[in-house]
C-alpha cells in the first residue's frame, strides 16, 4: 500500500507546485518548502543537471557508458520525480484555460491579486539580504529604474506581447526556469514581467483544446528549449552567484520586483484582441473610477497581508531552503 501511496502523494504535491508555477507571484520553491519536499526537489534538479553534464562528458570520451548509466539509475525518478513532474504538468495544462479566461473576463481583478502577491514576495527577497548596505540599495534602485525604462519603452501602455519572437520565447524560458529555484520568485511571474505570460498561457490553452497550428507548436518548443537550456546553465550560474554575491543578487531581484509594479498595475482593461491574445491597457484612477480604485487597493492590502503572514509563518524553515539550494 505504501508503494502506491507515495507516488500518489508526490503527484498531488506536484499539482500544488504546478498551480504555483502558473499563478504569477506564487513561489513554487516556497510551497515546496512548506510541503517539506524542497530538499528532495533541489536534489532532483541537481541530479538532472549532473546527468546532462555526464552525457556531454560521455560524448567527449571522458565518461564511460556504464558510469553514465549508473548515475542515471541513481536519480529518484520513481516514486518522487516522475509523479511530481506529471502532477505539475497536469496542473499547468488544466489551469491554462482558466487563466486565459480570467485574463479576458476578470482582468483587473486578476491583476489586483497578482499585484498583492508581489508585496510579500518583495519582503522575502529583502529579508534574504544579509547586509542591507547603501551600495546594495543603490544596486536595487539602479536595477529598478533601468528596468522600468525598458518596460515603458518596450510596452508603451500595453502589457501583453503578441506573436512573440522565437528567440524571445527561448530567453523567457531560460529566465523562467532560473527564477523557479530562487526564494520568493516564480517562473510565471518572470514571464509576466517579460510580457510573455498571456501569450504562453494562450499557447498552452490552444494545445489543450486542439486549436493549435504548427507555428504554435514550434513556439512552445522554443520556450521548452529555453527552459532546458536554463536548467543546464543559468541554474548553476545562479547557485554560484547565490554563494558569492548573495546580497547583490537579492538587490537586483529587489529592483526587478519594484519595477514590475508597472507591469502589474491593476487598473487595466482589455482594449483589443490580436491573434486571440488580449491587449491590456493601463488606466489612471480617474479613468478606472475612484470607488473601484479604492476597492482595488484595499483588496491589495488585505491579500498582501494574508500571504505575508503565511510567509512569516514559514520563515522558521528558511534555513532548510538555503541548505537545499546550496546543493545545486
User: Grid coordinates standing for 74?
Assistant: 541513481
Domain that holds residue 136: 2-325
Query: What is the per-residue pLDDT for 269?
Result: 84
Number of domains in the chain: 1
> What is the rounded distance in angstroms from the CA atom of residue 195 to the CA atom of residue 161?
5
Q: Give mean pLDDT, residues 141-159.
A: 76
User: Grid coordinates standing for 71?
Assistant: 548515475
The winner for highest mean pLDDT among 2-11, 19-28, 141-150 is: 141-150
Query: What is the per-residue pLDDT for 135?
Result: 93
Give the gyration radius of the chain's Cα atoms: 20
Query: What is the per-residue pLDDT for 156?
Result: 47
Give the length of the chain: 328
Helix-helix angle 214-232:166-179, to 10 degrees? 40
207 within 8 A of 220, measured Cβ to Cβ: yes
232 within 8 A of 52, measured Cβ to Cβ: yes
Residue 138: pLDDT over 90: yes
> What is the rounded distance in angstroms from the CA atom of residue 70 to the CA atom of residue 278?
49
Report the candidate in 270, 326, 261 with the shortest Cα–Cα distance to residue 300: 261
Residue 192: pLDDT over 70: yes
Residue 239: pLDDT over 80: no
> What is the rounded distance in angstroms from the CA atom of residue 204 to the CA atom of residue 201?
5
Residue recorded with cell 522575502: 124
The winner for highest mean pLDDT among 24-33, 125-134, 153-162, 314-323 is: 125-134
- Average pLDDT over the chain reads 81
**Residue 327: pLDDT band with limits 50, 70, 90:** very low
Portion of the chain with pLDDT greater than 70, in percent = 85
Which residue would you say has higher pLDDT here, 196 or 274? 196
**Residue 311: pLDDT band with limits 50, 70, 90:** low
14 within 8 A of 90, measured Cβ to Cβ: yes
Q: Which helix (H) or strand (E) holds 299?
A: helix 290-314
Which residue would you say has higher pLDDT here, 114 or 276? 114
DSSP assigned state of 75: S
Query: What is the per-residue pLDDT for 293?
Result: 93
Query: What is the per-residue pLDDT for 5?
Result: 65
Q: Give mean pLDDT, residues 162-186.
A: 80
User: How does DSSP assign 179-203, residue by residue?
Assistant: HTTSTT--HHHHHHHTT-HHHHHHH
- The two beta strands, 268-274 and 277-282, are antiparallel
Residue recorded with cell 518596450: 154
Reported pTM: 0.73
Portion of the chain with pLDDT greater than 90, in percent = 16
Which residue would you say has higher pLDDT here, 273 or 285? 285
SS3 272: strand
Query: What is the per-residue pLDDT for 285?
Result: 92
Amino acid at each position: 500500500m505504501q508503494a502506491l501511496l507515495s507516488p500518489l502523494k508526490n503527484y498531488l504535491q506536484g499539482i500544488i507546485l504546478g498551480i504555483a508555477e502558473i499563478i504569477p507571484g506564487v513561489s513554487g520553491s516556497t510551497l515546496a518548502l512548506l510541503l517539506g519536499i524542497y530538499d528532495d526537489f533541489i536534489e532532483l534538479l541537481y541530479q538532472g543537471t549532473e546527468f546532462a553534464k555526464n552525457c556531454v562528458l560521455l560524448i567527449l570520451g571522458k565518461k564511460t557508458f556504464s558510469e553514465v548509466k549508473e548515475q542515471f539509475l541513481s536519480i529518484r525518478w520513481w516514486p518522487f520525480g516522475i509523479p511530481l513532474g506529471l502532477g505539475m504538468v497536469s496542473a499547468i495544462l488544466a489551469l491554462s484555460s482558466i487563466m486565459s479566461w480570467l485574463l479576458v473576463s476578470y482582468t483587473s481583478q486578476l491583476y489586483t491579486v497578482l499585484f498583492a502577491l508581489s508585496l510579500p514576495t518583495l519582503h522575502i527577497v529583502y529579508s534574504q539580504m544579509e547586509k542591507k548596505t547603501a551600495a546594495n540599495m543603490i544596486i536595487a534602485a539602479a536595477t529598478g529604474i533601468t528596468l522600468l525604462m525598458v518596460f515603458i519603452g518596450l510596452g508603451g501602455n500595453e502589457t501583453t506581447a503578441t506573436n512573440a519572437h522565437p528567440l524571445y520565447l527561448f530567453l523567457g524560458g531560460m529566465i523562467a526556469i532560473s527564477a523557479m529555484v530562487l526564494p520568493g520568485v516564480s517562473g510565471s511571474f518572470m514571464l509576466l514581467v517579460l510580457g510573455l505570460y498571456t501569450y504562453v498561457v494562450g499557447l498552452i490553452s490552444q494545445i489543450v483544446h486542439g486549436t493549435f497550428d504548427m507555428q504554435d507548436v514550434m513556439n512552445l518548443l522554443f520556450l521548452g528549449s529555453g527552459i532546458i537550456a536554463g536548467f543546464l546553465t543559468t541554474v548553476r550560474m545562479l547557485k554560484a552567484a547565490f554563494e558569492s554575491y548573495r546580497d547583490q543578487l537579492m538587490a537586483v531581484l529587489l529592483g526587478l520586483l519594484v519595477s514590475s509594479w508597472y507591469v502589474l498595475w491593476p487598473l487595466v482593461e482589455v482594449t483589443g484582441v490580436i491573434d486571440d491574445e488580449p491587449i491590456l491597457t493601463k488606466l489612471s484612477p480617474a479613468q478606472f473610477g475612484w470607488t473601484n480604485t479604492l476597492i482595488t487597493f484595499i483588496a491589495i492590502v488585505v491579500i498582501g497581508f494574508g500571504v505575508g503572514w503565511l510567509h512569516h509563518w514559514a520563515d522558521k524553515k528558511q534555513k532548510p531552503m538555503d541548505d537545499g539550494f546550496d546543493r545545486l
